[in-house]
Structure 1
Amino acid sequence: MLLVQDSMKLPEMYNRQADKSDYYITPSFGPVENILVTREHKHHTQLRKVMAGPYSYTNIKKMEPLVDARVMQWLERLKMEFVDKDMPVDFTPWTVFLAYDVISEIGFGAPIGFVEAGCDQENIIKHLHAGLREKAILNRLYPFLKLLKGTWLGRKYFEAGASASSGLGILLKLRDRLLERRLKDLEEGKEGRQDLLQTFLKTRTVDGKPLDIEYIKSEVLLVLLAGADTTGTVMQGLIHQCITRPDIYERLRDEIKAADKAGCLSTPPKYEEVSAHCPFYVACVREVMRLWPSSPALFPRLVSGSGIDFEGKLAPAGVEVASTPFLIHRDKNMYGEDAEEFVPERWMEPERCKKLLKYFFGFGYGARVCLGKDIAQMEIYKGPMQLLREYTILPVGDDRVGTYTIAGGVAYWNNMFVKLVPNKKMAN
């Protein structure tokens, strides 16, 4: 496997004809694989056409009220548990609680309930995190997995099931229960709520047939697993900058105050409002995703066509090449000598921003770019933004401002203790 840092090579490595390698033979979430682990590019293209509708911006926009409800519940719980009691809060788990509740409501049809409980329900997150390192090792042992896949041994030890008592097993039970209820409602002629599960059930293949139920189960679970910790990590990184960079924090606050004064923001703010009226906030989100990507994993592909030239040396068709956002986003040829520094302004120069977005790797690249991009950005543009509107965020101790950690190709922050002081109280 060739590991590549040159961001200019992304279009060649991740072109439409590039197959995913056997690295993507991973422990299964059921008998049918989801779109993420589909390796052959022609099969992926067919699936992508089918799934484009459910994940389209137009469809996701209809679900914005679901996100709004969860964000406001999250802020209310923070107020009750910490602000009213004048207590510090470890912001790290609370962003993940919000992310899991949002994505489970959009995907499954109901929030898991982390925010309401104020804790890791049934240790679901703990169990999922515990499996990250094992998953990373298995990814790298894919010849071994390829032999076991489909055998009774593979099904027993490397295929998750609803009977498991781990965090994933609990999620599978929840998913199956909600799916069964939704199917029953449809049989009785009841109009389902507007979420991804409902959209999947209405979606038809190119042959006009409904999606296979096992495939829907796999996709719904993928939504949760891919869209929770990742989104939480970005929100954590953004708050980390607020409590460690006073200059960044003040500029964010000034921009938000100006947008509020002009009447440009709803409560909570709409996705389109933040995009249109808060350019520095958007730039900070992009810079957080650049320096501290939430998915800093390898994304291998097989070289296609006539090969790829790397500084005069040819990687022929079939060779496995890979990159990771953690490397790509530190390419000094693209980002300059200050590539290791947090500089949101680099995203505010229109021509430069256009080029940086062309080679941005935060949501994957090319034909396989993350389908849930709009869901993630909608949540990131709402949660932290509304928090900044309502509270002044103060760090609790210089040694407790967060540590960026990578485990099994997924990133998260640790120990980000803050005090939330109502802005009205600070003004007084």
Structure 2
Amino acid sequence: MRLEPQIDELITTLLKRLDDVAFSRQTIDLSYWLQLFAFDVIGAISFSKPYGFVSSGSDSLGSEENFFPRLARSLHGAAWIMHAGWFFKLHQTVIMPLVGNLLAVNDRNGFFFNFAQKEVQTRKDQGGNDKDIVGQLFQVQKTKEELAIFLFLMRHPQALAKLRDELRGRRTTGKISTVVTAAEAEPCTYLQAVIYESLRLFSPAAFLLDRDVPPEGMTICGHYVPGGTVVGTSSWVIHRAAQIWGDDAEEFRPERWLDCEDPGMLKRFFFAFGGGTRTCIGRNISWLEIETLVPTLVMRYDFKLAEGATITEDCGALVFLKGLRVQVTRLFE
């Protein structure tokens, strides 16, 4: 919550850019703009300053190759190399010394490491908000201490209308602001159901979330698995199991989170960010972004899929939505 002001400032910048788009009746790739926003948030909350992606409308880093394509290639490389460790070792010890680097995943130790190192050093030199993530890490060192949601809403106008009614009702009574805060968003039950349902059907992780069986082995669903075996679970499988979610498990139905006799049981099987001690470290930050940006945009704009828009899923280590081209209309109240 202490990082929310940085996100609010970026939302305001994004609203100005989308207002320009709406007034000029342009068609935009909404997924690209939301990705620009997401990465600017990372910069803002990590280093007290965004990368300038939203304000410029581009992921360009000057003379360097654009950020997003390079990141996508690295994640695609990671997705398959995890399951071919022998080739990775061969590449690092034999192939790379002879012919050079052939694996995009190695960017993690080159380009992306240098990028992060530069950002941290700039933050140290210039100072910044001691409540940003780097500031908090410095303190620890000293003391030792959105995308699928909009697609589903456009494809399910009844759900969009229901969400908009909830938000407008709370806006009329002064319970939410023009730029919605997390504290205002959390009591919006239908909004929260929309977020859970969207991430259930479109989880970001495309690969199995691996775990090692402990040395003594263990019994899983009646089958003994020897110690040291690598096992994994897919959120895409769990989230479509009819015995958990019902016969309509493949359908987008936010109401399932509201009319369930035991919502806690559903949340127990919500695996979009993993689970247990290895739950995604960015879960809370991601949720903060989503529950502030989504209602703010839903109240301000109407998004419609552009004619001929073709949505595709690009799966590597993560799942990317591509082709989310929309027409933006400003809503005036």
Q: What's the TM-score once normalised by structure 1's chain length?
A: 0.70
8 Å contact from structure 1 (residues 301, 321) kept in 2: yes
Write the distance in 2 (CA, Å) between the matches of 1:369 and 1:78.
Answer: 33
Q: What pairs up with 1:117-128 in 2 under 5 angstroms? A: 117-122=56-61, 123-128=66-71
Q: Deviations over 1:218-247 (max 9, x none)?
A: xxxxxxxxxxxxxxxxx1211112211111
Match for residue 122 of structure 2 among 171, 181, 187: 181
1:248 match: secondary structure = helix
Partner residue, 1:66: 6
Write the distance in 1 (CA, Å) between the matches of 2:310 and 2:153.
Answer: 10
Write the distance in 1 (CA, Å) between the matches of 2:134 and 2:150.
Answer: 31
Give unmatched runs, 5+ long, in structure 2.
none
Write the distance in 2 (CA, Å) between the matches of 1:87 and 1:305.
Answer: 59
Write the distance in 1 (CA, Å) between the matches of 2:220 and 2:78.
Answer: 30
Runs of 4+ in 1 over 6 A off after TM superposition: 147-152
> Residues 338 and 308 (structure 1 numbering): CA distance in 2 closer, same or farther, change over 3 Å?
farther
8 Å contact from structure 1 (residues 95, 236) kept in 2: yes
8 Å contact from structure 2 (residues 311, 323) kept in 1: yes
Write the distance in 1 (CA, Å) between the matches of 2:9 and 2:166.
Answer: 25
1:422 equivalent to 2:301? Answer: no
Partner residue, 1:213: none
Partner residue, 1:247: 158
1:263 equivalent to 2:206? Answer: no
> Residues 161 and 302 (structure 1 numbering): CA distance in 2 closer, same or farther, change over 3 Å?
closer
Match of 2:330, as an amino acid? P
1:300 match: secondary structure = strand
Following TM superposition, by how much is the alpha carbon of 1:418 offset from its aligned partner in structure 2, in angstroms?
Answer: 1.9
Following TM superposition, by how much is the alpha carbon of 1:296 offset from its aligned partner in structure 2, in angstroms?
Answer: 2.3
1:407 equivalent to 2:301? Answer: no
Partner residue, 1:25: none
Match of 2:185, as an amino acid? V
1:197 equivalent to 2:134? Answer: yes
Match of 1:137, as an amino acid? W
1:84 equivalent to 2:23? Answer: yes
Write the distance in 2 (CA, Å) between the matches of 1:415 and 1:159.
Answer: 28
> Residues 144 and 275 (structure 1 numbering): CA distance in 2 closer, same or farther, change over 3 Å?
same
Q: Deviations over 1:46-92 (max 9, x none)?
A: xxxxxxxxxxxxxxx11100010011101111112x11212222211
Write the distance in 2 (CA, Å) between the matches of 1:247 and 1:267.
Answer: 23
Following TM superposition, by how much is the alpha carbon of 1:125 offset from its aligned partner in structure 2, in angstroms?
Answer: 0.4
Match of 1:349, as an amino acid? D
Identity %: 26
Following TM superposition, by how much is the alpha carbon of 1:306 offset from its aligned partner in structure 2, in angstroms?
Answer: 4.7
Match for residue 189 of structure 2 among 270, 279, 283: 279
Following TM superposition, by how much is the alpha carbon of 1:153 offset from its aligned partner in structure 2, in angstroms?
Answer: 5.1
> Residues 364 and 84 (structure 1 numbering): CA distance in 2 closer, same or farther, change over 3 Å?
same
Write the distance in 1 (CA, Å) between the matches of 2:248 and 2:217.
Answer: 32
> Residues 105 and 116 (structure 1 numbering): CA distance in 2 closer, same or farther, change over 3 Å?
same
Following TM superposition, by how much is the alpha carbon of 1:132 offset from its aligned partner in structure 2, in angstroms?
Answer: 2.8
Following TM superposition, by how much is the alpha carbon of 1:177 offset from its aligned partner in structure 2, in angstroms?
Answer: 3.0
Following TM superposition, by how much is the alpha carbon of 1:180 offset from its aligned partner in structure 2, in angstroms?
Answer: 2.1
1:83 match: secondary structure = helix
Number of equivalenced pairs: 324
8 Å contact from structure 1 (residues 346, 352) kept in 2: no
Q: What pairs up with 1:96-111 in 2 under 5 angstroms? A: 96-111=35-50
1:145 equivalent to 2:88? Answer: yes
Match of 2:5, as an amino acid? P
Write the distance in 2 (CA, Å) between the matches of 1:161 and 1:326.
Answer: 26
Write the distance in 2 (CA, Å) between the matches of 1:410 and 1:332.
Answer: 24
8 Å contact from structure 1 (residues 244, 401) kept in 2: no
Write the distance in 2 (CA, Å) between the matches of 1:149 and 1:320.
Answer: 23
Write the distance in 2 (CA, Å) between the matches of 1:310 and 1:139.
Answer: 23
Q: Deviations over 1:263-305 (max 9, x none)?
A: 11123111121111x1111111111111111112211111126
Following TM superposition, by how much is the alpha carbon of 1:417 offset from its aligned partner in structure 2, in angstroms?
Answer: 2.1
Q: What pairs up with 1:21-100 in 2 under 5 angstroms? A: 61-80=1-20, 82-100=21-39
Q: What pairs up with 1:221-236 in 2 under 5 angstroms? A: 235-236=146-147
Following TM superposition, by how much is the alpha carbon of 1:130 offset from its aligned partner in structure 2, in angstroms?
Answer: 2.4
* Aligned-residue CA RMSD (Å): 2.6
8 Å contact from structure 1 (residues 306, 316) kept in 2: yes
8 Å contact from structure 2 (residues 194, 254) kept in 1: yes
8 Å contact from structure 1 (residues 280, 344) kept in 2: yes
Write the distance in 2 (CA, Å) between the matches of 1:117 and 1:183.
Answer: 25
> Residues 242 and 150 (structure 1 numbering): CA distance in 2 closer, same or farther, change over 3 Å?
same
8 Å contact from structure 2 (residues 213, 228) kept in 1: yes
Q: Deviations over 1:90-138 (max 9, x none)?
A: 2110110100101121123321111111122131101111233222221
Give unmatched runs, 5+ long, in structure 1.
1-60, 211-234
8 Å contact from structure 2 (residues 314, 320) kept in 1: yes
